Structure 1
């Protein structure tokens, strides 16, 4: 089963219910080598679900001392497709190693 790491709005039970039709089961983990920045969200559908105009986004720093805390969720391939539809174009999904050693999908800042 795929893993999805969330450090932002996908941890919110209301966002999970709106996107996946249920609340996800997860456990704490962390993403090394990344730092959180804030991103202004203008997509009306995302704003309606999250209720937040500022969402966190992670950027690679290359420094393993930088760590982003969050949750790793067990998801299905269908859940990943639903999450792809929720995230705006500033994010893209990549498979990354977690502090626990697990590999999880993470939405990170689009390079550029």
Structure 2
């Protein structure tokens, strides 16, 4: 099963219900070498689901002292595709190591590596 690290709206129960059809079991984790910024969302469907016009987005700093807290979601392959559909074009999905030692998919700014 794929793991997804979420630091934003995919942790919201309402967003999980709308995106995956159920609430997901999550566990806390963090990621190093990134900081959070806010991204203005203009997609009306995403705003309707999340209730927010600004969503957090990860920006790489390369500094291991910069950490972002979040949660790991256990997904199916189909869930991961649904998460891709939910995220707007300003995000891209990459694999990254987490503080727990796990490797998970995470959405970062589209210009990030």
Give the structure 2 partner of residue 60 of structure 1: 60
Give the structure 2 partner of residue 108 of structure 1: 108
Give the structure 2 partner of residue 26 of structure 1: 26
Runs of 4+ in 1 over 6 A off after TM superposition: none
For the residues of structure 2 that align with 1:51 and 1:14, how far apart are their CA atoms? Answer: 9
Give the structure 1 partner of residue 47 of structure 2: 47
Note the alpha carbon deviations across 1:13-66, whole angstroms, 9 max, x for none: 000000000001110000100000000000011011001001000010000000
Note the alpha carbon deviations across 1:63-90, whole angstroms, 9 max, x for none: 0000000000110110000000000000
Q: Secondary structure of 1:100's partner?
A: coil
For the residues of structure 1 that align with 2:14 and 2:26, how far apart are their CA atoms? Answer: 15
For the residues of structure 1 that align with 2:33 and 2:100, how far apart are their CA atoms? Answer: 14
Give the structure 1 partner of residue 89 of structure 2: 89
In structure 1, list runs of 5 or more residues that go unmatched: none
For the residues of structure 2 that align with 1:73 and 1:84, how far apart are their CA atoms? Answer: 14
- TM-score scaled by structure 2? 0.97
Give the structure 2 partner of residue 17 of structure 1: 17
